[in-house]
Copies of this chain bind each other. A is one copy, B any other.
Amino acid sequence: MGWEASLPERVKIRDVARAAGVAVGTVSRVLNDHPTVTEPVRSRVRAAIAEMGYERDSVAQSMRGGSTHLVACAIRDFDIPRFALFIKEAERVLREAGYTLLLSSTTNSPEVEMALLRACAARRVDGVMTTISDESHPGVIDALHAAPMPVLLIDRDHLPELDRVTADHAAGAEAATRHLLQLGHRRIALLVGDTKAAPSRSRVEGFRRALAPAVPDAHLLRDRVLTSEDAFRETMALMSLAEPPTAIFVAAMDMLGGCLRALRALGLRVGEDVSLVSGSDSELAELYAPPVTAIAWDLAEMGRHAATMLLERMRGEAPDTGRALKLPTTLVVRQSCRAIP
């Protein structure tokens, strides 16, 4: 293999210095583009570096300097396909700024989240962007505040002292619900994720706001829909009620598939037998027959901004107070909702 036995004895700054006939400090100054080094020396050192294939050891660099140029991103579950866009853009921005992305799953557990923050501190990670699963968990909140590096929250809005990027889920949910109301729907079911976290709570809030002064039927409000199977099960249950809903607003992220599977299993036609709005847009929503009305927002932009804000904060260019960016959501009206008498 090459990497196991006969390690070619990594070349270090000392070897370069010896080869170039200068002191190690001088090589370091060349590497870091210090002005106080004369041209002949600089090029001699550069030549030695090139010839010997020297590569800086960033562990040693971090050891001395402090910064690791590592940024951690932690979310509940990577296989939420839409989140890939967030990560992709965040990684791009960070990479172009010389940072490396470190990815970790929180598995939706406060304990894991606390462990993660500790691990980031131990690794001297320069910055963290993360969701958190339970906004009122004191341990996690303490850990966030005690973190020795800047933390940016993804889609969480309850800690004004931290930077955060969110999508306007309340407005999205309100618009979706109004859309259904205008079409004459009164029995509207809502599927959301964990209401311990902002997105689901905001969606419920927007839902209630649109319904007011009427209040939602408790039977039609289902939370803790976290997996595709949950969505399948809840949809089955909803449509088996004595008085089933005339419309389903499947607001939990990427749960449309589970819902559609259930409707298919029940032999119900979307748009005909039950109207449908998805809380997040996807190719599936776009290309399904009929195409499914959905709430859309720009996850790539969200990732881009998250990375940018975190970079500013790490560089100390940000104000003392936490900054909030709330991205707009839009309702993409398609053909999955029918007017009812």
* Interface positions of A (Cβ within 8 A of B): 1-4, 7-8, 10, 55-60, 62-63, 68, 77-81, 83-85, 87-88, 91-92, 95, 100-105, 118-119, 121-124, 145-150, 161-162, 257, 260-261, 264, 283-284, 286-289, 316, 320, 322
| Known contacts A1-B320, A2-B145, A7-B148: A95-B88 contact under CB 8 Å | no
Residue of B nearest to A70 (CB): B102
List 24 A-B residue pairs with CB atoms under 8 Å apart, sorted by A's residue number.
A1-B161, A2-B145, A2-B147, A2-B148, A4-B320, A57-B124, A59-B62, A59-B68, A59-B123, A78-B84, A81-B84, A91-B103, A91-B104, A91-B105, A95-B104, A100-B104, A102-B102, A257-B283, A257-B286, A257-B287, A284-B287, A287-B288, A288-B288, A289-B289
Q: A55-B118, A79-B84 are in contact. List 5 more A-B contacts (CB 8 A).
A: A1-B162, A3-B148, A100-B102, A287-B288, A288-B289
| Known contacts A57-B122, A59-B62: A88-B92 contact under CB 8 Å | no
Residue of B nearest to A88 (CB): B78
| Known contacts A60-B63, A63-B59, A149-B3: A100-B123 contact under CB 8 Å | yes
Question: What is the minimal beta-carbon distance from A258 to any residue of chain B, in angstroms?
Answer: 9
The 6 nearest A-B residue pairs measured at CB = A81-B81, A257-B283, A289-B289, A79-B84, A78-B88, A103-B103
A88 — which chain B residues lie within 8 A by C-beta? Answer: 77-79, 105
A286 — which chain B residues lie within 8 A by C-beta? Answer: 257, 261
